[in-house]
A and B are shown apart, each in its own frame.
Chain A
């Protein structure tokens, strides 16, 4: 089922949580809503689910207004950050719940329920734990029960609200991969809310970056990484070095750098900032005329990559380089290195 949000707006008192957001999710797609806390991503998800109602705008499921349908009749499976399992019910009963509460006329038989629950249990790799209570499970297991419970009602849309937010890093990594496999297997339209850019980039077909109730950019993980539409996306997805300055007469003057900027030929200066990622910087022993000299302050070796913290004037530059390059240069704190920029993205306007 496809989802379309049209001009969604939601306020809580004076706070605008979601500000005129439009969004499309295709059938069978996995889309991540990515943003910092307070960006409105969870509110938007809850509006799609029908747990909250929008002040303005529409949610369409397959072109049909979803507000006309009851919460239970929307065909939405919702997975909560803190699992929201029924504490007094076994794993089996938790998963069976959605089938048991159906009106008698469309309720599956006890046998069908049993079969469905056991196939879901094996799907989430929890078959041996059917009789356990939620309190006897680990966080990762609980979240898989919650997912199986949501899938039990055969939802046309699966909505996940920071599903791995409460888990530790290793489990999160594992569940992330598993969720992607599961999605490839079931192909149910899914929307995942997360504040973890790694998670969004790794799992989703498309990423929607949100900030302050607005959509900043919609695109594939590659597009969002390589062609950030706004300074916010640039700095939210991965770490970044910023050079502030101005543009005028077709050139950008950004701190120690001056680069051509033909998009702004006028004489009227505009504030601007240049962004470059740590891995887009090269360091050398010898200088030329297209970079800057900086002093090594700190060296952090992290497996295959090495992070160098350099100082130029009062500014700190983060450089990420390979282990091989580091071994060839052998820099020590206090050394002068020449830093060259492979790319620089310039955004005009105050930020």
Chain B
């Protein structure tokens, strides 16, 4: 058993090293496929971060009449917090609103002076509501207008920002859907190109496979070495593609920072280097060995 295993390993390494040109070609194709795969992983993260940060910028604010009692507002906040659509809710009291306003305009003496002269607080208490999904703002706004809350609610700013919110929601949806479609499509292309390359390598060895059969080799001896070679392709392809991807990430990071300041591409990539390596090796080895298995099978039939 052990002898068989070591012989299959030995034949696999021989297949790999003595078909150097074919091996190099196959690894190059695999490296390209894995670069696409890495690119898709990074693109996915960037798109997610970008959409999440866009989403985070959207909220609706409910302004309460100045005479509305605070406990009613807090009660409403508690009720709304339990709604499935609501992700976060923040209460800004009149005093807090004033202090925020003052803070924002502390360098503007006219406003400071005006506020002092006013004596009373002109700002309204408000609730800032963030939805789990941008599509749900319409529901939330509707809830606020129908629930007999007109006694305490002064205005809901959704009506003013509705267009912007809806447009952002559409953009976010489009990014997610096209991202997914592009990922599936390019992964498929990468898988098919690699599979086809390995199939061609084995096709060019079909005569050898026939000879092995005539010499009385059992299928495991014919099939095994090609799978071993496929695994070596995957291992080397995985490592090489990461070695190529690393400097590309470093070069691309400053440009990505401009678009998505929340995401540090280099930190993201290098913190997860072991994970990336695992993905690459897993993808490479699986692709290499499965392609070899399927391709050899064709020539093992009598």
The yes or no verdict on A and B being binding partners is: no
Q: Which residues of B contact A (CB under 8 A)?
A: none
Q: Which residues of A contact B (CB under 8 A)?
A: none
